[in-house]
Structure 1
């Protein structure tokens, strides 16, 4: 029997900015109410980046926590991946800035990956391939966002959703005997995209557009919420079914669902379709809002550090984001 390499999560970390914005604060900014926001989204509060912070600051803080918990030094990392929609600069990549700030001097590759809310799952899938092919031994995978910087705070249907933060995981290569069940590690990832839905959720402007304007709406997120909601619910159900079927696993075998934290109604609908009890679904959207690529690693870190998710348990990570993009990761923690 031969052995191969699989990716095992050895540590997680997270960081949330100090400033907390309550729904009551939004009531003073736009025509909305705390009750309406909670009823429609499940969100009670979100964290907002400080004026003197940038996305890399959040990413570095989460990464430092993960590295410390793993008992590693920065130069033990062989690859840095940062999933973000809100990079510090057009270039260089936020990942290279994080690499520098962490003191990683071993010249390992570092790059950003942009798939909006599915970004962390995409990055996890890419990191897993690097490990499986033997190119690296340990990867640092971060989801980090400063969504408040691209939020139109006068758009009452949109500004209530977003929050800032960062989450990180460290993956390490472990030997796996071929044909044997995975005792701990990433079993499979599945990622998809369909660009025809671009206009339903996007930021209209970008550095390559000639017709740049000073219009706030051109530089901030716009979303057709009802249409996005319908596609998201159906797509997340489909990716969950696909993941379980392709890996010959029944939904009853799942211990945890760790979904992208976009909307409590979407999260509950997905859990219900999988036949999971509410107690098996990790929910942080009420405290964090939608933090895009940071939402899954933030939720994962919280559930691991508070002792809910334990070694040997089976969890499904899934996300849906602008593009549209969507994906999943089936992991035996």
Structure 2
């Protein structure tokens, strides 16, 4: 689940008529069903019962010890395996609420808590962002249509650690432009991961992603960032997905953070819906997002959110 960098949504002017005609544009939310009650035996974060505010991502970056790393490997693996299971159900005709219910049940089966649920008031277990919805889409009654693309963002809370990952799925027969967008978003993520190792400046992540997006002739949605993660859902460092001159610091062994770029086939400008969560593109262009949680180790990095089927 992305963090929001400082942005004035009111400064963005809505473009009523897109230059291009995009596929299955989402203009408004469907009906959102009531939230879930988590069983008593599941360990819950404090925000399950207390209203929290977005975390501060400025400050000292945590260096995880071996026990914390062990727990993070487990929580991330659980999240990744559940995300991989979504291939079984993502198809035309299923609603995003049904996907949310499926993932919620899978998370509970693993004795985990779905981290997005009630985080800063978010009402559902996962985020489902379809087509022109860039991120933080709330699962609702809308059924997926042939040709859609959908990002499913899953985070689980297990043994007091959050494991976070997402990917964009193809729904039925997706057109060539949509496939191109999703493919290069995924490839761009791995280009950024490849440069991660001790001593590398965090700015190199954005530099690698920007270079890749430019080569692919795609734009990056710059208003959302990756983040540190562990016992806190969001914590330092801020991970910018575009070329920048922000002085975050350098990577060190034991740091854990997410990289989760959003690529757009349009301009990459966004607007916030009235639900104060859903973010869509101003020009109705489709976006794709892929996310991994990575650990900096001795001389490179380890992707913690690889599903078992990818090993």
Q: Where on the TM-score scale, by shorter chain, does this alignment land: which range?
A: 0.3 to 0.5
Q: Write 1 or 2 for the structure with the bigger share of strand.
A: 1
Q: Looking at CA atoms only, which structure, 1 or 2, has the larger radius of gyration?
A: 1
Normalised TM-score (structure 1): 0.31
Q: Write 1 or 2 for the structure with the bigger share of helix.
A: 1
